[in-house]
Structure 1
Amino acid sequence: MRMCRLLGYAAPRATTAAAVLGADDAREWQRMGRLHADGWGTAWVDDARTVRRRRDPSDGTASADLADALVQEASTARIAHLRLATEGMGTVLGNTHPFVVDGIAVAHNGSIQPVQELRAMVRPDELARVGGTTDSAVVTALVLREVARGASLLEATTTTVARLRSRFPTSAVNLLVLSADELVAVHANEGAPVPLDLFATSPLGADLPRDHVDHYYRLSWRREADGAVAFTSSGLASEGWRPMAQHTAARVDLRTLALEVVDLPTAQRRAA
């Protein structure tokens, strides 16, 4: 099993990840590519309210393009992903997150095994639309299937994650899902094994990113003074961040920045 890092925000006006997080945290998030070195990608909502994407299957730690995406390029909403590939999953552009289909961008932090059983849940044409072959590509295809059936993006995402967690109870499924209208974050990985062997053998030693041994799967959120909402995987300083509870999803309306939290799988709303 391997894992990745997620970052996302929604803001009241076009801004950068560095402005939302702080310049130091934006740089530190990119520097987590020293461990999560199998590609990076970002998707954002442009001025025409279209979801755009840039991705690269190489190490993003020193990437000027990734630095520009985090520090220079303003948007009202953005998600970003650093990939640490699951064994056997090719480090190629098609497997690099986010996946974008029909204006919906999906980035996955986690792993679902056995992958052959997972792939059997989708048709070849559904997977071909996504463009990748990984477990994450299958997750994306399943979310898109629910959307095509008429489900809202939040319902499609929570239904899919609940189904996967029921069938693969040790799966790790943290998601950021972005459309022109909303940003959805999901935290569901209770019981998933932490790759402690990877950390123990890593040449990074004391430079291992923050919280990777004790809180590797944690997904947290923060509300900024101007109303912006941000999400991040573990690895940044904890000040101001609120950990998401297991088996929950959060939805941010990009027009109002209203935040709602739902439980999985019952999806009963409660105030955030």
Structure 2
Amino acid sequence: MCRLIGAVSRHRAPVADLLGDDLDPFIRLACEHKDGWGLAFRQEDGTIGILRGIDRADDSDRLQHALKHQLTDMAVLHIRMASPNLAVTVNNTHPFGDARAAFAHNGEIRPVAALEKLIDPDLLATAAGTTDSERYYLAVRERMNRGVTPGDAITLTAQAITQSSDLVVSLNAMMLTPTGLYAYAQHDPHSEVIGRRGPAYFGLSYRQEEDLVVVASEGWPQPAGRWAALPDGEVAEFPALHP
């Protein structure tokens, strides 16, 4: 299970400035979510850049440098708690994607074979790692390759996974594209993981200001007057604010 945070700003600035006061408490969650980190951001030319590491986010000089010096107007940061039996490798580290999109997931889907049936074999062959999360992304990517909009691609993929998989703990995800940030919240309230972690563990919330939107997992104080919950089973789209 993992933690996610994303931001969309009207102004380009270091990622740390976009996330502001939420960054430090988010990074401190790496004391438990210690199996790597990944950062996606829109670059000046409009493409998506991705950095990943397998060290702890709160002890990574490379991540700290990127947070302080990478200028952007949109970003997603993921810190990983690896699911059982999934290796801690760069290829298994979120976000997955390329210059067109970056995708990060918080949850667990079984069996992986059910996911693979949703992906064209040629696209599935591009998978670099062994995670359910990467295959979730590739199923979304396949629909996007056919011209489906990112938001609809996530929704349709989530529906297909729910219908075809034996276990869907959570399909919470964030996807960053050159045109915006997409956030999707869906989890099984009866999952044994919910029992272990508490009912709010898979909540996704957002706070919105005139020139900034921040979307994030639960895990640190998010006052109700400042944060609002994302509806379950719906894609929330936060379009780019910067030209």
Same fold (TM over 0.5): yes
Q: For the residues of structure 2 that align with 1:94 and 1:173, how far apart are their CA atoms? A: 20
TM-score (norm 1): 0.81
Write the mapping of 1:75-114 to structure 2, written as runs, cut at 5 A.
75-114=72-111
SS of match in other structure, 1:49: coil
Residue 202 (structure 2) aligns with: 217
Asked if 2 retains the 8 angstrom alpha-carbon contact of 1:194 and 1:216, the reply is: no
SS at match of 1:22: helix
Partner in structure 1 of residue 12 of structure 2: 14
The question of 1:231 aligning with 2:215 is answered yes
Q: How does 1:1-272 map to 2 (within 5 A)?
A: 3-23=1-21, 25-168=22-165, 170-191=168-189, 193-195=191-193, 212-224=197-209, 226-239=210-223, 240-255=226-241
Q: Secondary structure at the match of 2:11?
A: strand
Q: Distance in 2 between matches of 1:192 and 1:92?
A: 30
Structure 2 CA distance, aligned partners of 1:216 and 1:16? 28
> Residue 76 of structure 1: CA displacement?
0.4
- RMSD (Å), alpha carbons: 2.1
Distance (Å, rounded) in 1 between the aligned partners of 2:68 and 2:208: 19
CA–CA distance in structure 2, aligned partners of residues 254 and 196 of structure 1: 33
Q: Residues 154-174 of structure 1, C-alpha deviation per residue, up to 9 Å, x if partnerless?
A: 111111112212333633101
Q: Could you say what secondary structure the match of 1:246 adopts? A: coil
Amino acid in the other structure paired with 2:146: R
TM superposition shift of 1:48: 1.1
Measured in 2, the distance between the counterparts of 1:166 and 1:191 equals: 17
Q: Deviations over 1:221-266 (max 9, x none)?
A: 1102x32111100112112111112111101111479xxxxxxxxx
Q: Could you tell me the TM-score, scaled by structure 2's length?
A: 0.90
Structure 2 gaps, min length 5: none
Structure 2 Cα separation of the partners of residues 255 and 238 of structure 1: 24
CA displacement 1:131-184 (0-9 Å, x = unmatched): 222100111110111011111111111111122123336331011101111110
Aligned-residue identity in percent: 28
* 1:12 Cα offset (Å): 0.2
Greater RCO, 1 or 2 (C-alpha within 8 Å, sep 6+): 2
5+ residue gaps, structure 1, are: 200-211, 258-272
Equivalents in 1 of 2:205, 2:127: separation in Å? 27
CA distance in 1: counterparts of 2:190 and 2:81, whole angstroms: 16
SS in 1 for 2:137: helix
Q: 1:255 to 1:196 in 2, by over 3 A?
A: closer
Q: Which residue of 2 aligns with 1:209?
A: none
For the residues of structure 1 that align with 2:35 and 2:73, how far apart are their CA atoms? 27
Pick which of 94-103 and 62-71 moved more: 62-71
| Contact kept in structure 1, 2:7 and 2:19, CA below 8 Å | no
What SS class does the counterpart of residue 61 from structure 1 fall into?
Answer: helix
Alpha-carbon contact 2:42-2:72 (below 8 Å) kept:
yes
Q: How many residues align?
A: 240
8 Å contact kept, 2:4–2:79: yes
Q: Match of 1:221, as an amino acid?
A: Y
Q: Deviations over 1:206-227 (max 9, x none)?
A: xxxxxx5341101111102x32
Question: 8 Å contact 1:33–1:59 — kept in the other structure?
Answer: yes
